[in-house]
Amino acid sequence: MGWVFVGLLAGAVVVLIAAEWPRLSAHLGIDERIEARERRARAERKSKLRVVRDESEEFEASVRRDLERLPTIEKKRDPRR
């Protein structure tokens, strides 16, 4: 009977922590640390990007070809509308 009580008590503690997690994480500053880590990771990813400025006709033609190859969905219109 003692093990059942301990199991129910442990389950209640887990439920309580899960319910209060948003308030606990804000109080402990966990959210700020996670957001700061995500900002640093994003800044690192962005620093590796570069803008390519190529205004050649060949590039424009390839984009036009790709756009023409895209599948389209043609909706049939209701004649009553």
**pTM of this structure:** 0.38
Task: Give the pLDDT of residue 50.
Answer: 85
Pull the structure tokens for residue 81: 């509308």
Whether 40 has a pLDDT exceeding 80, the answer reads: yes
CA distances from residue 60 to 3, 51, 54, 66 in whole angstroms, order as listed? 72, 16, 9, 10
Please report the pLDDT score of residue 66 as a whole number: 93
Rounded CA gap, 19 and 6, in Å?
20
Q: What pLDDT score was predicted for residue 78?
A: 66
- Please enumerate, as own/partner, the contacts of 7-10 that have beta carbons within 8 Å and a separation of 24 or more: none
With 0-12 CB in 10 A as exposed, 13-18 as middle and 19+ as buried, what is 25?
A: middle
Arithmetic mean of pLDDT, 44-61: 83
Mean pLDDT of the chain: 84
